[in-house]
Structures are given as C-alpha cells and as structure tokens.
Structure 1
Amino acid sequence: MVRQAVWAAVFLAAASPAAAQTSPRELVEMTDFSGLAVSPDGRWLLYRRERPSTMSGQIETAWYLVGTDGATPPRRIGDGGHASWNGTGIVEAGSAAWSPESDRFYFRARVDGATGLWEGRPSGALAPLIVRDADIERFAVAPDGGIIFELGPSRAAIARAEENERDSGILADGRVDLAQTLYRGAMIAGRPASQRLNGDWFDREALLDRLPRQIVRRDPTTARERPAHAIEAELLRPSPQPLPEPFRAAASQAGICAVEAPCGDPDAPKIWKGMAVGDGRFVVTTRDRKVRQSVFLWAKATGLTRLAASPGLLSGGGEMAACAASQTAAFCVAESAAMPPQLQRIALDGSGTLVLDRPNDLPDHDDLLTEAIEWQVGGSRASGWLVRPKFPGRLPLFITYYRCAGYLRGGLGNEWPLRALAASGIAALCINQLPSGGAKAEARYELGLAAVRAAVAELDRRGLVDPGRVGMGGLSFGSEVAMWTATHSKLLSAVSIASVQAEPAYYWFNAGIGRDFFRQNLETQWGLGAPDIDAADWKRRSPSLQVDKITAPVLMQLPEQEARLSPELQARLSASGKGELHVFPFAPHIKAEPRQKLAVYQRNLDWFRFWLQGYIDPDPAKIAQYARWTGLNFPAPKSETDAIQSSISASSSKRK
C-alpha cells in the first residue's frame, strides 16, 4: 500500500516566497554535492562538496564526513582538488568507497595535476595511497578489502601522442571534429588536451581513451600489487540489481511506470533508480516529466511506501546519480526551484527527514516569489517554474525552454541568471519540454513555440507580464526552440542562445567519412538530408537562411568548439546589425569554468535588462558594450517608466 505523500517541512518552506541567492556571482558559486558513500556499518556518510570559485577560476572540491544520525555537524576531511568535467561539460561526480570493516575510506582526488587514490579514517587521518604517472580513472573495494583500480595512459604518453599529431598531421576521420581546435582544444583533468568524437552524436573523449587499460589489485595487508582477474575487474562495472517482480507489480498498481516501458499517462512518474538495502528491501526513486522526484521503500511484508516527495530533485548529486542508502535511511541531495542543494537523511521507518548539511546560506529576505505553474497547450498541459519580484504590476518576461531540474539558477546548462533577472524586475519562466510522441524536430519546434505562446497569454491574462516585453534564451534544443520562436513569431523583444544552430555549414562540417551516425540521426530526428538535396527544408528550418524574419536582437555566447559550425548565422546577423557573438575558448557544450559562467550570467543579465527595461549599467567598464547594443539595427528600448506606463495603458484598454 502506498502511503499518502506529504511534502516534507523543508520543501514546504522552500515553496514559500523564495529567499535565495540573486547575484550572478552568488548563483555561480553555489555548492553542489556528489560522491555519497555510506559506511557498511551504517554509522558514517562520506561525500564531496563542489564549489565553483570565480577567484581561482576552478571548481574547488573537498570531502566531508558526517554521522548518519545527524547528531553532530559535518566534518571536513580533506581537499579533493579541482573538479573535472566530461566532454559535454557535466562535472564528473566524486568517487568514494569504504573498507568492509568501516574503519577506513578511499576517494579519488586530483592534486598537483595527478588523480590518485587517498585513504582516510573516521578519526581524521588522511594520506595519499596510490599516486602514479597515470591517473586512476576508476576504483572499487573488494569484499576482502582489496583495492581494484584502473590506470589510464600515463600523462607523458598523452603529451607525446598530442605532440606527434601536431608534428605529423591529423587524419580527418569520423573521430575528428573540424570545428574544434584539434591540438589541445579542450580542458581534460585540468589541463589543455586533445579530444575526439566518440561516435555517439557529439559526445567526446580524450585522445587515448581507446587504449587498453591496466587494471590492478592491491592486497589489503601487504600492499602488493598484481594484475586484476576478470572477476575482480567486474567490480569496476557494477550492474544495478534487478527490482523484484512484486515491486514492479506494486509500482504499476500505484501508477508508476517502468523506465523501459511506455507510459499510457505522460504525466505518470517513472522508476528512476533502485538499490537493495538488505532483508529483501529496496529503496527506489521515481521521476515525472515535471522533473519531480520521490523516494519509496519496498518490502515484501509492507509493500510500497512513499518516504519523501519533492517538487524538485532527490538524488545523489546531479540528475542522474542515485541516493545512497543504509539499512535505516536513504541519503539524498535535495533541491527544488526555490531551495538550493542540501544533503538530507530520509528515515526508512517513515519517521521523517533530517537536513545533514546545508552550505548554501539563504539571506533573510523574501523579495522573490517562486511558483509552479501549469497551462493548457492544445491537448497537453505544460508546466514550469516562475520566479518574480513581489511587487505588483506587469513585468517584462524572460523565458527559457527545455528542462527545469532542481534549483532555478540558469535553466538547463545554467546560462541565464533567473533569480538575478527576477531581482532586477524581470519575471523569469523556465518551461519543461512538452512530450512530443516521437515527432521530428520541426513538429517539436512548433510544440515549443505553442508552449511559449500559451505561457505568455496565460501570464498576460493573470496581469503579471507585459506581452510587449518578452525575451527568450536556450541551450541545445532549447536554443533551437528560441531561434524558431524568433523566426516564426513576433513574440520576442530580445534573444540569447548558447548553442550551435543547424545550417548548411553545420552539415558539411559533420557529414564526412566515418560520420554515418550523424547523417542517420539528422535524417531520423530532423528529417533532413544533404543541403544540396533538401535545399527547401534547410531554408525553412535554418535560422541563418531566415535572418530577414528575425525582429529581435540576438546575443550568441557559444563554446569555441561549436562556434565554427554556424558561420552563416553569425555573419548574417552581424552584417544586418541584428546581433553579436562571444566565443569561449576550451568551453564544451555546457560551459563549466566559473569565470566563463560568471561572464555569461552577467552579459545575459545586462542584455535583457537593456532590451526589456531600457536599463544601462553605469559601470564605466561597460560603455563599449552599450555602445555596440545601441548601434544595432533596432529601435532604442523604452525606459522602465515608459514601458510600465505603456503596459498600464494597454491593460486598461483591455478591461474596457
């Protein structure tokens, strides 16, 4: 039987008028968590804090230990070095494990350019255990306490391979992205390094990632090492335990869908992660299309019990990670639209939730309102989060479209400082992508435009926004919807995008030998062939071929490895005075470096305040910026006072 869900008190507090960070710097420097690991005896929780620093320009990490009963404050164990990110720009999670006796723990840390394995004890002792000329990429602890670890290529071998390519020339095969700087054009493990496509769309890997790895076993008592056996090596690739069939039946009866099966109800939650906790019990998290998560306990005797529900995330840190669990509690990173990440203990006996660590301080004011909203779009219900200042009146509106997961920092990819926009008097709306039922890209764009159009109409009906002052921004598919909205409607007064747009050059950069996957995906998902064959379709879909339809200024803040894919859009926007481009060296698809993130946030804040409010920051360092924007081929934006008066007049006329 599923117990009736009751929002935990912490979530109720978070859903009240938002009290949260509002400056771009505060949003950038928020602390996240990852690497949650519970000791086998259930007494301790080890985890990593990750805090971007605009001073150092790095994501600084540290490992912490806290008693699972929450009776004492968290204790800082040691430095974890600077965080790395993958080829997409997602920060790589911390990696930690315990000895079987719970008397020591291990974690990976990158110190002085080397990623090694460190050993610590709950008493506080900490020391490097295994540090080599090659990075430890993965590790696990065997049941007898032995350590199994995987070594990548030596740093010297990587450097030699990169230099050899530079000297001898690079064969342009299916792994080579000609739009990216080929010699050390990415940041990998904290250093400029060469990178290649791995064959899965635009996913990337390091130059020597395909070389065989050395997998070693270290004896727990003698510290002797030998090559790991095949069974030992499997510990590095743990497979999830299958959920028992009675659980699946109980979940289905409760309206929860299995991940691998289609759901009849698109709003139904799906099984997200599951783990065994002993005595035949499983802790399972679910997630729905509004990116809301719940935690359940399943036991043969009691069935399915909901332990916690969130209007946002309950995870192990990041969207994809699972909570950690002992026999008495689950440990999750909780964050919602109005609540920054915090570490929580969820009791398996249903006795409640306890906050174990809350490093993101909330100011003592509540000048923003954060609310979940829904509205009708054809036969579907769209959903999202709106954050706005408390004062009455019609506000300018900023919209980002794709996915609204966790705390409202900057939408998917964290590019637009939503709370800073709201604190500046611009309502900010994040819209969750509507289910498209397998439709191709053009239909998905139209669905996105319909959701945006209906959202503006709904907020206009409620008297909250001025429909004549609407801006929009997006990353990845969200950027495509933003540009589709800009070229197929007159809704927008300003646009900002963070990703490449499809145009003929984009195709030819990527359709060479060995890139069959790209061509097939473009045909399957977008219905597009080669530009010289499907010229009419490319003209209809490519913003670069429809610049004449764009009636709002466009700010492009692109990673260097993508910027070269849209030369025609950049040239046509620039030549027509309709926008400008900023390119970020080494940046992947999702920008990760703190200083770059701060620059993006601040420029987007200035951009939308200028075009939606007529506001010019008096900072002398920004004189050139505003001179460029004033020189674009658009009328000077109204001042806030004029815009408000215009909005009031329009509102009054509608009421007659």
Structure 2
Amino acid sequence: MIATFHAAPARAGEAQCPSVWPPRAPVSATSELDAEHLLLLRDIGMPEAAQSAPSPLAISPDGKRVAFFVTQASLAANDYCDTLVVLDLSTKSAPRALDSGGHRILAEEALRGVRRESGVPDINRPAWSPDGRSLAYRKRGGGRTQVWRVDIAGGSARQVTSSPQDVEGVQWSADGATLLYAVRPGRSDLEAERNAEAAQGYLYDARVLPHVGAEPQLPEVLSQAIMTVPASGGLAAEATAAQVSEFSPLAPLGASDLGPVGDSRGWRAGADAVDNSYFAARRLWAETPAGRRIVCAMEACTGKLAAVIWSGGQVLFLRREGWARETSAFYAWSPDTGTMRLLKRTADRLTGCIGVRVGVLCLSEASRQPRRLVTIDVRRGGERVLFDPNPELAGLVLPKVERLRWRNSLGLEAWGDLVLPKGKPPASGWPLVVVQYRSSGFLRGGVGDEYPIFPLAARGIAVLSFERPDFDTRANGVDGLVAAVYKDWADRRSVHESLMTGLDLVLARGDIDGRRLGLSGLSDGAMTTRYALIHAPDRFLAAAISTCGLEPYSVMVDGGIAQADWFRSFGFPPSSQPDAGFWKPMSLTLNAATIRTPLLMQISDDEYHQALGAFTALREHGKPVEMYVFPGEHHTKWQPVHRAAIYSRNLDWFAFWLQGRVDPDPVKAAQYRRWSALKTSGGTPIASGP
C-alpha cells in the first residue's frame, strides 16, 4: 500500500498551504510532465539528491512512527509551504498532517571568513519528545525562526520560544520537561555594531563582498549558545553545562550521517577518513562497550560511504559504488563475527536513510521517479513504498531515459542520462541541450534546478543530463583542492574533454542533430559552458548560464579583498598586473571577439556584478547576449516565482535558437523582438527596451 494524506484542519492565523493538502487530482494518463509539475513537486529533505545532508526523517522513541516535513512551492506566496507529517509504520493508516505554514528557512554558508545566506534550504528535522506524544520543530515567521510544538494526538501547534535570534536547532531534554535550542546571541550585537558603523561609513576590508553589497558581512565564526525553555512555554534561560552536554546538533549541510552511532548494547560505529585528502574514502569501524575498536578490513567497508546505522546487532551502511559511484548499495556487517552480506544494490538514489524496527527507511528516487519514502527489509533486501508525496503524477507519460557511460583520456569515469522526446526523430535528428553537472535521482533541472529536463523533451528537444567526472586530485583540504583544480586550468580541461567525449558518443547514435546543440549550467556547470564556448566555438548553437564569476576583474575586485587574496595565494595574477596569458583559456571577456554562440545569462542580484565584464565585452563585440538579474537571490536561486520565470525563459531560448520556434503569447512579444534582432544583426542592439 502506498499511503496518501489525511490533512489537518486549517487553523486561524497561520499561513495556508492549499496546494499541499490534499494532493491535486491525478493527471491524465496521456499528459507529459511540464514546468508546473516540476515547480509544484512536493519534496522531503534537500531538493537535489546529490547534496549530502543529515536525514530529514525523525523516528519516534518506540520506533513505530516517523515524522518529517513535506515541502512545496507556492507561486501565489512566492515561498514554500512546510507541512509536518507523521506516518505510523505499524499500520497501513494514511500519514497525518499536524501543522503547516511558515516561510522557507535558508541555510547559511561560510565563505572566506564571513557567513551569508546560500539560497539552499536548511534541514528542518522535527524532534520527538521522550514519551512520543509531542514534536518540537523550527518554524519561520515574522522574520525569525522559532521553536514550535504540536501534540501528536491533535490540537493546535503553538510557538514555544520568542528568541531575538534565529533558532538553529532544537531537541528535548531527557526527562521531556525542557526544550533545548541553539542560537547565536552575538549576532544581535554585531548587527548593532554594523548599524552604528554605517553612520561613519563602512571600513572597506575583508568583511565586504562588493558583489553582494557595501554592508560588511558577519564573521564566519559566530559562537553558538544553547538555551532552554519549559516544554509548555515560558521564560528562556541559558542551559547548564549538563544540559549543553545533552545537546547534539545536526551535522552541517554537505556532511553525511556517518556517526558515531550507538546501539542498545553500548556498541558504537562510524566511518573515518582514510587520509587527509579532500575527497578521502571512508573506512567503517565499530567499538565495543569496553572501548575496543574493530576496523572493518573488507573491501566494501572502505569507499564513498553515505550512512551508518545500527540494526539488530549489525552495522548497516550505505555505499556509493560502481561506475562513477552511480549505484546505491546497502551492506550489513557484524563486527563481533566479522561477517558481511549485501542487502541491496540499486540504480535508484537512496538518501536520508535511518534505522527502524521494520528495517531501514530511506528516501528513494530515480531518473523518471520523483522521491518517495521506502522501507528496506534488512533480512531479504526487499523494498516497499510507504509514502508517495506526489501520487497524482503516477499517470504522467515520461520520455525514455538511457544512461550512457564513458571515460576521458585521464581515465576518469562520467555518465550522461540521455532523455529523448517521444515519437520518431526528425530526419535531421533531434536538437539537444546539455544540462549539468550532476545527474543523480529524479531529473529536474540540473544543479540549481533552472533547466527543466522533461519539459525540454516535451518540446521536442533531447537532453543530455551530464554527470561530470571526479576531480583528478588527492590534494589536502579546500586550499589544496583549489590549487590543484586551477593549476593550468587542469580540471576545466578534464571536464571539457569528458563533455566532448560524451557528446561524440551521443551523436554516433544517429538520432541527434549535431548542428543544433545547446549547453547550459550553474556554478561548475557554468564554467564548463564558458570554457566550451571558448574552446569549441562552432559546436553549440545556443547557451545559457546562471552564474559568471571567474573573470579577471570579478575575481580580484568584485569578490572583495578576501577573495582576491585567496586567489592570489593560488597564483592568480593581481588586477594591477593583468596577465592575458593566464586568463585567455578561461575568460569570456578576453575571448569575446571569437565567441559565436548566443548566450543567455539569468543571474542573482548578489552575483550579477561579477558577470558585467563578460556581458559588456560580448556586447561591445556585437555578440548575441542577454542578461536578466533576479532580486533577493543568491548563488542558488530559491524564490518560486523566479524559478518559474527562469524555466519559461530557458525553454523559450533554446526553442528559439535550436528549433526556430516563437511562442505566440503576446506577453512575450518584446522578448522575441529582441531575440530576432540578435539573430538578424548577430549582436546586441544598442538600444533595447524591456
């Protein structure tokens, strides 16, 4: 049985989420997945399956229920609705929605000594009370993230804290009488100091990121304090040393659930890095109650490990393996006997896995299957779907997806998911767009989710969803990785060669038109796109990028003092001593005269300054280029209204250049007048209207 929903009644004074509960009516069995389906997809956990993060699932103390948030975009509110859900694992009853509303909680990122919003959602895992009768969780409203509580049996959710700082984590005390929560009290003082500094002018130093704004950013190191509040509400107080020792914060985004974790016997297990390299493999270990460590020597115990779980006296661990680690495999290791067995190996992407009495709970998705909650039987390895947050999409007609695999000359493995439109290809073959740079799980719109894959296919454009090869380095730490990656632009050359190899493999099939290729990407994918426009100027008929930051001026000036010093430590030339030879292989600005591909830029307002050099150079050389700037956005754009606009424009852009199609919608008439002028004149008009 696949569970559907029982919705909680709407409560006065809270944000409404009409699109989440109940699900929409099932779609027609002949319908194709369109941009609206992607925009309104319900999620559990991080939107991108390739993103490492703590599990969003919380198991009850008795192991019989699981709680989590289901998230869906609201175009009307230009925000996301979080719905708190509880699912009984011991029965076939439908999950219940206990609370909904609030605003998206964005994670902060550390960037060269400062901290700032990233645009990526933070993991919001609810916390069970010790008696299993209540849940505590974070909810954002009124410009602050606070602790809320709801009783499982029913009743209204209620706010428990009134913290002057955002709450970053919450859990219950062992006796259930108190809630512990984490804040950063120094933030308020630093913000007040910054406001006072404004009256005298901001000192331009390493705190300032010019592309973000003139206001100094807060420091990366900002101490965290643990506070307490009665579980029923009341006055907050600083936690005692004993209470602080009880608090176990979630691992940060980018980290996997690798322990240490314990079982009821007092054993512990975890996975440690085998060396100091940035992408070091992890090796599994267990520790007896007496403290004796047992390191697993079997081959499967070392590698790209993604989760470590105790279950029935065994250590269950999830391993990424196979070609370019495309496969998810669960193993069971018995450290006391030294035996191991494979439980399950699947091409599906498994994330967020936790141990429960009935086995293992995971979030599972595949290229043509959105995320679902499944249970894996630890005895037989069988999988059963417990909950599908998007049941109405089951009838959609999705195009064929074929996985292609190849190596570049360095021997680095890569893959691409080739998505073909339905029906027979045109005599000349399908046009094709490359979407980057990860292709794990359900195919949405690449990293950053801006290039909608299935809607492109529905318009008659094939897509190669490109999983880039690994970095060819064993360098230590972030600095070592960056130095190795940028030395002679080695990583860019490796990825470019892999991309070209993959395209040659696709074109050899005979059903793709090699004269009508498009290329797209954000972040690393945008760098791959820019590099390809320079080094394969006749290969692509159209391109689109979502960031454009690695240019001579942007690196040394727009990024601020800290970024300039950081890049100079890796051998990048200073702005006062321009080195065209260094930048020529990578810079759109220096290669603008030879760029032939029409380029669409859709960039956040805190990064578009870094794109102005390339945009201006292309425009001065009469090249077809257009740029849009999205306010209130970051490296990863999060606002649903903006994603809808980006989806629509990217679809229109590639249809226009690769297929010669024009949407007759009168609202888009000005857009097509500009693009037609770019096509006929070969460059950007000097005077362009809105």
Structure 1, unmatched stretches of 5+, are: 1-17, 184-193, 199-208, 259-269, 317-322, 637-656
Distance in 2 between residues matched to 1:254 and 1:214, nearest whole Å: 42
Confirm or deny that 1:478 pairs with 2:525.
yes
Distance in 1 between residues matched to 2:203 and 2:529, nearest whole Å: 36
Confirm or deny that 1:23 pairs with 2:34.
yes
Distance in 2 between residues matched to 1:70 and 1:287, nearest whole Å: 32
State the partner residue of 1:459: 506
Aligned-partner SS, 2:664:
coil
State the partner residue of 2:238: 227
Distance in 1 between residues matched to 2:140 and 2:32, nearest whole Å: 30
TM-score, normalised to structure 2, is 0.77
Tell me: CA distance 1:422–1:452, structure 2 relative to 1, closer, same or farther (3 Å). same
Confirm or deny that 1:272 pairs with 2:306.
yes
Distance in 1 between residues matched to 2:294 and 2:669, nearest whole Å: 64
State the partner residue of 1:103: 133
Distance in 1 between residues matched to 2:555 and 2:344, nearest whole Å: 47
User: Which residue of the other structure, out of 412, 417, 420, is the alignment partner of 2:447?
Assistant: 412
Tell me: CA distance 1:136–1:222, structure 2 relative to 1, closer, same or farther (3 Å). closer
User: Which residue of the other structure, out of 410, 416, 423, is the alignment partner of 1:391?
Assistant: 423
State the partner residue of 2:554: 506
State the partner residue of 1:217: 228
State the partner residue of 2:462: 427
1:231-258, Cα deviation, whole Å (9 max, x unpaired): 4324143673042636999976344534
Q: How does 1:269-418 map to 2 (within 5 A)?
A: 270-277=304-311, 279-288=312-321, 289-300=324-335, 301=337, 303-316=339-352, 323-350=353-380, 352-360=382-390, 361-378=392-409, 379-393=411-425, 394-418=429-453
User: Which residue of the other structure, out of 138, 161, 170, is the alignment partner of 1:131?
Assistant: 161
State the partner residue of 1:558: 603
Could you tell me how far 1:480 is from its partner in structure 2?
Answer: 0.6
The letter of the residue matching 2:226 is I
User: Which residue of the other structure, out of 568, 583, 592, is the alignment partner of 1:538?
Assistant: 583
Distance in 2 between residues matched to 1:519 and 1:255, nearest whole Å: 42
Give the number of aligned pairs: 577
Could you tell me how far 1:85 is from its partner in structure 2?
Answer: 1.8
Could you tell me how far 1:26 is from its partner in structure 2?
Answer: 1.6
State the partner residue of 2:491: 444
State the partner residue of 1:141: 172
User: Which residue of the other structure, out of 573, 589, 592, is the alignment partner of 1:529?
Assistant: 573
Tell me: CA distance 1:512–1:105, structure 2 relative to 1, closer, same or farther (3 Å). closer
Could you tell me how far 1:293 is from its partner in structure 2?
Answer: 2.6
Contact 1:505/1:567 (<8 A) preserved: no
Tell me: CA distance 1:593–1:512, structure 2 relative to 1, closer, same or farther (3 Å). closer
Tell me: CA distance 1:80–1:561, structure 2 relative to 1, closer, same or farther (3 Å). same
TM-score, normalised to structure 1, is 0.81
Distance in 1 between residues matched to 2:564 and 2:348, nearest whole Å: 34
State the partner residue of 2:541: 493
The letter of the residue matching 2:320 is R
Distance in 2 between residues matched to 1:59 and 1:522, nearest whole Å: 40
Distance in 1 between residues matched to 2:568 and 2:345, nearest whole Å: 38
1:273-313, Cα deviation, whole Å (9 max, x unpaired): 21334x54333222244444333333345833433444242
Tell me: CA distance 1:364–1:95, structure 2 relative to 1, closer, same or farther (3 Å). closer
RMSD: 3.0
1:158-199, Cα deviation, whole Å (9 max, x unpaired): 87566445433222221210111345xxxxxxxxxx85573x
Distance in 2 between residues matched to 1:457 and 1:221, nearest whole Å: 64
Structure 2, unmatched stretches of 5+, are: 1-28, 46-55, 108-116, 252-258, 261-268, 271-283, 288-292, 474-483, 683-690
Could you tell me how far 1:551 is from its partner in structure 2?
Answer: 1.2
Contact 1:65/1:74 (<8 A) preserved: yes
Confirm or deny that 1:172 pairs with 2:172.
no
- Farther-moved stretch of structure 1 (558-567 vs 224-233): 224-233
Contact 1:501/1:543 (<8 A) preserved: no
Tell me: CA distance 1:571–1:297, structure 2 relative to 1, closer, same or farther (3 Å). same
Tell me: CA distance 1:104–1:303, structure 2 relative to 1, closer, same or farther (3 Å). farther
Confirm or deny that 1:567 pairs with 2:612.
yes
Could you tell me how far 1:567 is from its partner in structure 2?
Answer: 1.8
State the partner residue of 2:84: 63
Contact 1:19/1:363 (<8 A) preserved: no
